[in-house]
C-alpha cells in the first residue's frame, strides 16, 4: 500500500518533497521510502531524487499496475483489493477464484478489483465471446457483497453503465450515450460491454461480480464487429491512459453504488440515468423480451419513456405503458 500512497503524494506535489516528509506522513522509515521509490522507478514511473531537495514525479508509468490504480482511488465505500494480471482467461472468472480463496474477506465494504492487460477467454452476454486483445482495451471486474435483495442486483448493471459513461466523459471530449440497459454507444457503435453475475441463496448474496470491457486504444476492430463496435482511439485519433480510466470507473461506480444502497433501488439515479439514455422518447423495437404479466415474445414497437426504480425500461405500446425487464431493444 505504501508504494501507491507515495505515488499519490508525489502526484499531489508539483515541487520536490523530501524523503523525511514522506516517511513522517506515512509513518515509515526513510529507508523504506527509498526502497519504494526504487520499486516504483522499476515499475515505469520516472521519479527524480535530488540531494537536498528530495523527490519529484517527472513522468507517470505507461504501464497499467496495481500500484498505479490504487494511487488513483478515492476514499472508498468499498475497499477493493486490486489485482493486476498481464494475461488471464477472464477477469470475472479470476475474481470468483479470489472469492473462493478468501471467502471471509468479502463483505459490503471489502471486495476485489481484477484488471488484466489481456483476456484469453473473455465473456460477453448470452455466452458470447468478448474480443480481448492485449495492450489496448480495459478488462476489469468488481466483486463484492451488496446488502440488497437478489432481485435488485440487476440494477448494478445500470449503475456500472453510469460509471463507465462518466469516466469516459471525464477522459475524452466525445458525445456518448447509454443504450438500455448498459451499452455505451458513440455514433451508433458500441464502446463497452458489461456482464454482471451473481451467486446467492434465497435472500442472501454470496457475491456479485461486475465485469467491464472498454475499447480504448484499439487501432482497428475485427471484421465481424467493426460495423457495430468502435474504440476511443478510432473516434478521436487520440490515445488514453487506461489506468486513469480504470480508476475513474471504480470511483464513479462507488459513488453511484453509495446512492443506490441507500434505497436498494435506482430511485436516486433514475433522472440522471435517463438523461444519458438514447432510448428515451424514441421509438424502439423489442426483441424477445419478457413483458411483465405476459409470455409474449413477439417483436413489438413502442415509445421508450425511460427507466423506473427497478431499472426496467418503460415503453408505451398501443397506449399502455409496459415494463420491459429483459430482451434486446433497438432504436428505430
The confidence score (pLDDT) of residue 204 equals: 86
Q: For the chain, what's the residue count?
A: 332
User: Could you confirm whether domain 66-275 is CATH 3.30.930.10?
Assistant: yes
Which CATH code fits 279-331? 2.30.30.100
Please name the CATH architecture into which domain 2-59 falls. Answer: Orthogonal Bundle (1.10)
Residue 71: CA count within 13 A, CB half-sphere: 22
- Placement of cell 432481485 in the chain: 151
Q: What residue ranges do the domains of the chain occupy?
A: 2-59, 66-275, 279-331
> Percentage helix, strand, coil, to 5, in the chain?
35, 30, 40
Cβ atoms 17, 55 nearer than 8 A: yes
Instruction: Read off the C-alpha cell for 52.
Output: 537536498
- Distances in whole angstroms, Cα of residue 258 to Cα of each of 180, 237, 244, 251: 22, 35, 21, 11
Task: Please determine whether the domains at 2-59 and 66-275 fall in the same fold group of CATH.
Answer: no
Helix (H) or strand (E) holding 13, with range, is none
Query: pLDDT 10s digit of each residue in the chain, 332 long?
Result: 579 999 999 999 989 999 999 999 999 999 999 999 999 998 889 999 999 999 999 999 888 999 999 999 987 789 999 999 999 999 999 999 999 999 888 888 999 999 999 998 766 554 455 556 778 999 999 999 998 888 899 999 999 999 999 999 999 989 999 999 999 999 999 999 999 999 988 788 999 999 999 999 999 998 888 899 999 999 999 999 999 999 999 999 999 999 999 999 999 999 999 999 999 999 999 886 555 555 555 688 999 999 999 999 999 999 999 999 877 788 76
**What is this structure's pTM?**
0.89
In DSSP notation, 216-279 reads: -S-S---TTTTTTB--HHHHHS----HHHHHHHHHHHHHHHHHHHHHHTSSTTTHHHHHHHBTT
Instruction: Read off the C-alpha cell for 67.
Output: 500500484
- Residues 322 and 292: their CA atoms lie apart, in Å, by 7
Strand stretches in 16-59, DSSP E: 46-50, 54-59
Amino acid at each position: 500500500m505504501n508504494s501507491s500512497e507515495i505515488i499519490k503524494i508525489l502526484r499531489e506535489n508539483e515541487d520536490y518533497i523530501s524523503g523525511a516528509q514522506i516517511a513522517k506522513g506515512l509513518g515509515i522509515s526513510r529507508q523504506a521510502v527509498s526502497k519504494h521509490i526504487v520499486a516504483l522507478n522499476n515499475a515505469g514511473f520516472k521519479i527524480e531524487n535530488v540531494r537536498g531537495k528530495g523527490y519529484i514525479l517527472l513522468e507517470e508509468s505507461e504501464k497499467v499496475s496495481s500500484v498505479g490504480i490504487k494511487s488513483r482511488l478515492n476514499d472508498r465505500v468499498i475497499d477493493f483489493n486490486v489485482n493486476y494480471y498481464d494475461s488471464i482467461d477472464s477477469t470475472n472468472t479470476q475474481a470468483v477464484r479470489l472469492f473462493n480463496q478468501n471467502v471471509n474477506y468479502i463483505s459490503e465494504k471489502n471486495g476485489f478489483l481484477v484488471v488484466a492487460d489481456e483476456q484469453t477467454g473473455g465473456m460477453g452476454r448470452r455466452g458470447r465471446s468478448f474480443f480481448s486483445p492485449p495492450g489496448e482495451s480495459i478488462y476489469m471486474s468488481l466483486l463484492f457483497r451488496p446488502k440488497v435483495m437478489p432481485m435488485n442486483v440487476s440494477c448494478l448493471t445500470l449503475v456500472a453503465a453510469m460509471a463507465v459513461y462518466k469516466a469516459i466523459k471525464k477522459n475524452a471530449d466525445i458525445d456518448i450515450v447509454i443504450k438500455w440497459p448498459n451499452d455505451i454507444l458513440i455514433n451508433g457503435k458500441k464502446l463497452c460491454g458489461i456482464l454482471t453475475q451473481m451467486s446467492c441463496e434465497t435472500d442472501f448474496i454470496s457475491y456479485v461480480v461486475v465485469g467491464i470491457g472498454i475499447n480504448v486504444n484499439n487501432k482497428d476492430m475485427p471484421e465481424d464487429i467493426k460495423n457495430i463496435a468502435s474504440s476511443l482511439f478510432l473516434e478521436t485519433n487520440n490515445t488514453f491512459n487506461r489506468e486513469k480510466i480504470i480508476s475513474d470507473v471504480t470511483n464513479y461506480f462507488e459513488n453511484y453504488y453509495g446512492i443506490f444502497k441507500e434505497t436498494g433501488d435506482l430511485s436516486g439515479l433514475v433522472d440522471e440515468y435517463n438523461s444519458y439514455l438514447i432510448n428515451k422518447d424514441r421509438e424502439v423495437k423489442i426483441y424477445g423480451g419478457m413483458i411483465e404479466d405476459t409470455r409474449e415474445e413477439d417483436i413489438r414497437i413502442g415509445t421508450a419513456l425511460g427507466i423506473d426504480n427497478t431499472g426496467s425500461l418503460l415503453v408505451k405500446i398501443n397506449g399502455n405503458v409496459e415494463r420491459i425487464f429483459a430482451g434486446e431493444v433497438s432504436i428505430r
